[in-house]
Each structure stands twice: as C-alpha cells, then as structure tokens.
Amino acid sequence: MTETVAIAMDELVALCKRRGFVYPASEIYGGINGFWDYGPLGTQLKNNIRDSWWSHMVECPPLGPDGNPLQMVGLDSAIIQNPKAWVASGHVGGFNDPMVDCRACKSRFRADHLIGIELTFPDAPENHRNYLFTGMGEPAEVLEANAKKIKKVEKAHGGYEKSSEAHIYSELNEEERARFTCPDCGQLGELTEPRQFNLMFETSVGAIRDDDAKTYLRPETAQGIFLNYKNVLDTMRVKVPFGIAQVGKAFRNEVTPRNFVFRSREFEQMEMEWFCHADEAKQWKDFWQNQRMDWYKSLGLTDANLIFREHGQDELSHYAKAGYGTVDIEYRWPFTAPGFGELEGIAHRTDFDLKQHAEHAGAKLEYFDQERNERYFPHVIEPAAGLTRATLAVICEAFTPTPDRKGSKYILKFAPHIAPIKAGIFPLVKKDGMPEIARKLYLDLRESFVVEYDAKQSIGKRYARMDEVGTPYCFTIDGDTVADQTVTVRERDTAEQHRITLDQVEIFLRERIG
C-alpha cells in the first residue's frame, strides 16, 4: 500500500473471505460479533508472522547496546489464572470502558469512540457543550481541532484527572445528552448516560457455579509472565536485564468491536516483558521501540505508513504513570487514513506489577543484584503487539489493486518470507510428460518450502489465483522443459517471466526466501 492508493475495506474483507484468509466465526448460524476464524491461508500467514516474531525475540534476539546477545526466554502460560491475580493487576477493579446505549436501535458504543457527533444546536456557546468527539477515523486536522477544544474545556473547568472524550460526555446532564444523535440510526436524544462496563469475560472453574468458582479469561498475556517471573529466575540461570516472551490468546468483551479483525473480542498477542534496573529503563525503552519498528519494516510495512506516537499523560495506563510513559507504533490503516492508529505499544510498566503480586500473594519477588549488591524490584519495558493486528496490517500493506493486469483485479504483495505459499508449480498442459516433471519438482520442494501443485484451468487463471493469495513465484513446466530442462519463472509483482534450469529452482527460492 502507498500513500496515493486508497483501499476500500469492503473489497479487502471480500478478498480475505474468497481466498481463505479470514471467515466470520459461526457463519452458518449468522455469525457472532467480534469473533473471526482464520482460514487455511490466513492461518499460514499468521503463523509465519508469529514465527518471525518468535525468532527475532526469543530464538535469535537482537544484540544489546553493548554488542552482546540479549538474554531472552519463552513462556506459554495458562489462559485461566487464579482470579486473585486479576485483582492484584488492577483488572477486576479498573478494567472498564464507559458504555453508551441507543434506546431506539439498541446499538451500543464506547463513549470515547463516538465519532463525529456534535450538538444539534450549532449556535451553542463554544465550551464543553459544543464540540466534536474525537476518535478513530477522524482526519488529523479534525482531531487536532477537537483536542484544542477539549484542552480549552479543561482549562476553563480546572482540568480533569483523565481528560478524555468519555469523561466530558459523562459530565453532560440528561437535557444536554438529548441534543445528540445516534451514529447508527440517527435518532435524536436516544443516547443513554455512560455506564461502566468491565471488559473481562467471566467463567467458572469446577462443577459448582458460584462466587468462589468465578474466574476470568485473561485480557492480556502479560500477567502470566509476571506470575512466572520467579520460576524463570530460579530455573533458567538468567539475570537482570533479561526478557520473557509469550504468544497467546487474550479475550476482551469489547463494547464495539469493529474494523474487521482490528478490534475483536478474541485475539492473539505477542508480548515481551523486559526486566531491568530502574536506572536503565529509559535506555531500554528507546532500544526496544526502535527494534520493534525495524521488525515491522522487515514484514514489508513501509516508512510512509508507520510512525511513533508518545502517549499524553492523560492516556497513560496506571502502571506507566510514574515511569517513562508509553509510545505507540502506529500504522496508517485504511479506516484511519490519512491519520494513523495503534499497531503496538511499548510501555514502561515500572515495577508496578511485581510489587502488586508480591503484596497480594505474599511472595518474595525482589531481585538480588550481586554486581550492585542491591535488592530491588526490576522495572519492566513491555513491547506488546497484537498478532491478529499485525496480520491485518500486513494484509492492508500487501493489498494492491491491479486494474490494468489481465486476470487479477487485486494482488497481495507479501514479503516472500511471510507469504503463505512460496511458489506455485504448474504443468502447462496435462500431457507430453509435463505433469510428471512438475510433480517431481513439487515433491522435491515441499520438504523445504510451502509450495502448491496445480494442473487445473488455464495457466492465466492459475497465475491470477496465485497473485491474489500473495504467492511470490510461479514455476511453469512446458514443452521446452522436456527438451532443455529449463522452466519459466513468473514474478508476482511485475508479472515478468524468465527461464532458469530445473536444478536451480531450489537455489532460486532459498536466495529470495531464506
């Protein structure tokens, strides 16, 4: 994707369904809002991105500022933990979103995601009774103007502890809320006052469903790392600074899941907690935000579509307020363009989590540093990425309309190393020994690469299908192959063709894919 090409999300979503990347969950029963199933190619793409992250973070972590490899280990913690862990982490008491309902159409919105709503009376005085709500999807100039208005409100009213759109909306009385229209049905005065809505999914453990059996599906993978911090220290011969990384499912009962898989109720996270001394936290936060940006670029995301954005003091999570804050890596999504939206956050969580669990569990989680002769709770730098969100970004970046190309209305320009299928192997026709040669080549390559053998339909239709699923190379066995042992190589991005010998095909792929 480039700055000059506008992507229609409905076309991208349709391609993902048609070519087996993402399906609506429980589709035969009408679906279920906020849940998605990944099809064969979507699963392969997501796994390739996950494997790239795991390789970069755990198996071959980057060199640190001193030029030495970093200490990093992996973890796979349980989705359901002791519910006391979520009390200690602050999720039970504070993991809430303000919810607004429409009485007319029964739609539900997060108060801070009410986009583009303004008071019906345009001549109302310019104070906290007259402004646009900010939110995802607004042009950058609108967001900037709205932010100025909100700051003006804060200055006039002595400031708010949390200067958010939701807070200001909560300040309106019933008469003032009556001046707002529902963004779905357009009815005037039908939006309710905000109510706090806990985002965690509750479940029960055991045969009896009562308060003693109540627990939660994890809303983040990070707490499983903190709960195992001492176990890793005791068993893996690591010392501060070191990291623990994890990939896994997380669940949030989002009020308004939207924008395809961007905000869903079940998703996968790739999180790493980097334990370090407080004096080195700023250095490590800067280090990891640059490492993470480089990784996204390695997936094929371009400079023009990526930015850093520091969180304002009013946006910070409770665990980051006393530290060096949080910086987001933002991507220019089709539904935020020309603006940007969050892709990954790199937060300085301070020593909040370890102290909380030490206090609530009565566990000894302090670290004794022999070199410093000091006992302390390590501070934590957390690069927290969504695997599902990274997959969507890769698809958005790769999605390329090709109106002038014969056979393919769109192609997916995946970086070769994460493409679900690396190569297509095609006999031009089903005779004259071509299928036998193509079949042997396929069997030789499948041990090292994900490749596909296809002898059906015309060669043009086979090329078009490979273009749409993002396959970077196709090898065609034709009449000349039988005579001189050469094959046609077709490049996805340019549709250019050239010939190489059969015995060079594997080398060709290794040089370009790894």
Kindly report, residue by residue over 358-380, the tens digit of the pLDDT: 999 999 999 999 999 999 999 99
Percentage of the chain with pLDDT > 90? 68
Residue 272 lies in a domain: yes
pLDDT of residue 166: 45
pLDDT of residue 121: 31
pLDDT of residue 119: 33
Mean pLDDT of 150-154: 49
Higher pLDDT, 205 or 3: 205
State the chain's mean pLDDT as an integer: 86
CA 164, 166, 169, 171 dihedral sign is negative
* Lowest pLDDT segment from 23-32, 110-119, 125-134: 125-134
246 and 154 within one domain: no
What proportions of the chain, in percent to the nearest 5, are helix, strand and coil? 35, 25, 40
Helix (H, G, I), strand (E, B) or coil at 96: strand
Q: Given 343, 375, 398, which residue is the final one in a domain?
A: 398
Write the CB contacts of 38 (distance below 8 Å, at least 6 apart in sequence).
21, 22, 23, 46
Residue 341 lies in a domain: yes
263 and 163 within one domain: no
pLDDT of residue 287: 97
Supply the CATH number for residue 53's domain: 3.30.930.10
239 and 382 within one domain: yes
Say which amino acid occupies 324. Y
Start-to-end C-alpha separation, the chain:
24
287 and 160 within one domain: no
Say which amino acid occupies 5. V
pLDDT of residue 91: 86
Mean pLDDT of 8-26: 95
372 and 235 within one domain: yes
pLDDT of residue 185: 84
pLDDT of residue 192: 82
Mean pLDDT of 68-90: 95
Residue 2 lies in a domain: no
Number of domains observed in the structure of the chain: 3
Q: What domain range includes position 22?
A: 9-77+219-398
Mean pLDDT of 291-310: 96
Percentage of the chain with pLDDT > 70? 84
Supply the CATH number for residue 427's domain: 3.40.50.800
pLDDT of residue 169: 55
- Convert the pLDDT of each residue in 231-284 to its tens digit: 999 999 999 999 999 999 999 988 778 899 999 999 999 999 999 999 999 999
372 and 224 within one domain: yes
Residue 169 lies in a domain: yes
504 and 480 within one domain: yes
* Lowest pLDDT segment from 127-131, 190-194, 348-352: 127-131
According to DSSP, the residues that pair with 411 across neighbouring strands are 400
pLDDT of residue 474: 98
- Per-residue pLDDT band at 313 (split at 50, 70, 90): confident
Write the CB contacts of 364 (distance below 8 Å, at least 6 apart in sequence).
230, 358
pLDDT of residue 398: 97
Helix (H, G, I), strand (E, B) or coil at 163: coil
242 and 189 within one domain: no
Residue 3 lies in a domain: no
Residue 472 reports pLDDT greater than 80: yes
335 and 278 within one domain: yes
Q: Given 336, 370, 398, which residue is the final one in a domain?
A: 398
352 and 275 within one domain: yes
pLDDT of residue 159: 39
Where is mean pLDDT largest: 291-295, 319-323, 429-433, 482-486? 291-295
- Per-residue pLDDT band at 405 (split at 50, 70, 90): confident
